[in-house]
Amino acid sequence: MTNLIRHRLFWPIAVLVVLLASNLVFSDNFFTITLQDGHLYGSLIDVLRRSAPLVLVALGMTLVIATGGIDLSVGSVMAISGALACLLIGDLSNPDSTTKVLLVVGAAIVLCLVFGLWNGFLVAVLGIQPIIATLILMVAGRGVAQLITGGQILNVHSSPYRVIGAGYFLSVPVSFLIAAAAVALTVALTRRTALGLLLESVGGSPTASRLAGIRARRITIMVYVFAAAFAGVAGLIYSSDVSSADSNAAGNLIELNAILAVVLGGTALTGGRFSIAGSVLGAVIITTLDITAVSVGVPVETTLLFKAVVVIILCLAQSATFRAKVFGRFAAKRTVTA
């Protein structure tokens, strides 16, 4: 039992279970999954579908945070990728051509890679503090997105494009499949290779890592590129889901949710050890929280407050110091009586 509680994923899983269970109380059919027109429907499917962008962004954020950095620009990169994709699709003679849409998607992701390189360059080569370095793109990126869309909301009508965010493959939401693939890719990239170990080493002690012969600079640049690429994909999912590019709404405040997801998942902001499964759980928890707020009937104006309270409780539950203070007292009393 103690081993179970000590497991780093115990508390995130517990919270997720509690959240889902509380939904059951308030809405009877929360766990009902039905098949309509060959698509799976239901609140749980909704959770999976709507978690996708946050999961993607949180994955990149996890790796960046593992190196001891942080990436505030992911929301803006989302906006840029959606904006470029919608602009290019709008210019297509045949927006329903799958090949052309794939090319457009590729172009948007390449642009994001360039922005990731920029972040990595600022942090690893120029040595600017990550929070400042990525703040530049966080602010400037929205401007770039607005430049691309000409300051307007670009609407597109392209059935292949719409598949990314709103489509289904074998009854399963495509956005969920993309997120799942991204998780698998990240796990493979970090745990099947030595990248994870080197990341944790750089995050744990940059000086010692350099003296152990690790090329920290390359690795650092790589994680920012990675984060931007995943943010770009998240941007495509978002913009495809709403069939438009909104430079202000796309990825708004997602960097904070992503950081929260990473922290909830048990990765420390100081860098070092990271948990991909934890971050994914964190992202799902945050999305579930949003959906729960609606299903439980929390008034719209207090949703954010509701979210904050749950997050505080979760953070306290995860803090060993806090647990020791609360439960340690009981334990001490018990030994005294015994």
Q: How far is the CB of 212 from other proteins (least distance, A)?
A: 5
DSSP per-residue letters across 252-299: TTHHHHHHHHHHHTT--TT-S---HHHHHHHHHHHHHHHHHHHHHT--
Nearest 5 degrees, angle CA 115-CA 144-CA 161?
80
Q: How far is the CB of 267 from other proteins (least distance, A)?
A: 12
The DSSP bridge partners found for residue 197 are none
Measured from the CB atom, is 66 or 281 closer to other proteins? Answer: 66
Q: How far is the CB of 235 from other proteins (least distance, A)?
A: 27
Measured from the CB atom, is 197 or 256 closer to other proteins? Answer: 197
Measured from the CB atom, is 90 or 204 closer to other proteins? Answer: 204
Q: How far is the CB of 332 from other proteins (least distance, A)?
A: 9
Instruction: Please report, as ranges, the residues that interact with other proteins according to CB under 8 A.
Output: 192-195, 197-198, 200-201, 204-205, 207-215, 219, 272-273
Q: How far is the CB of 273 from other proteins (least distance, A)?
A: 6
Measured from the CB atom, is 145 or 222 closer to other proteins? Answer: 222
Q: How far is the CB of 233 from other proteins (least distance, A)?
A: 22
| Nearest residue to 145 (alpha-carbon basis) of 246, 241, 228, 230 | 246
DSSP 244: E
Residue 202 contacts by C-beta under 8 Å, 6 or more apart in sequence? 67, 68, 209, 214, 216, 219, 220, 271
Helix (H) / strand (E) containing 173: strand 172-173
Nearest 5 degrees, angle CA 281-CA 259-CA 54?
55
Q: How far is the CB of 319 from other proteins (least distance, A)?
A: 17
Q: How far is residue 182 CA from its own chain's centroid?
A: 11
Residue 154: what are its φ and ψ, rounded to 5°? -90, 120
Q: How far is the CB of 222 from other proteins (least distance, A)?
A: 9
* CB 275 within 8 Å of CB 8: yes
Residues 324, 14, 255, 201, CA torsion sign: positive
The DSSP bridge partners found for residue 36 are 39
| Nearest residue to 119 (alpha-carbon basis) of 228, 9, 238, 264 | 228
CA distances from 100 to 82, 83, 183 (A): 16, 16, 27
Measured from the CB atom, is 90 or 272 closer to other proteins? Answer: 272
Measured from the CB atom, is 17 or 194 closer to other proteins? Answer: 194
Measured from the CB atom, is 210 or 252 closer to other proteins? Answer: 210
Nearest 5 degrees, angle CA 141-CA 125-CA 274?
75
Measured from the CB atom, is 40 or 219 closer to other proteins? Answer: 219
Measured from the CB atom, is 201 or 240 closer to other proteins? Answer: 201
Residue 98: what are its φ and ψ, rounded to 5°? -60, -45
Q: How far is the CB of 56 from other proteins (least distance, A)?
A: 22
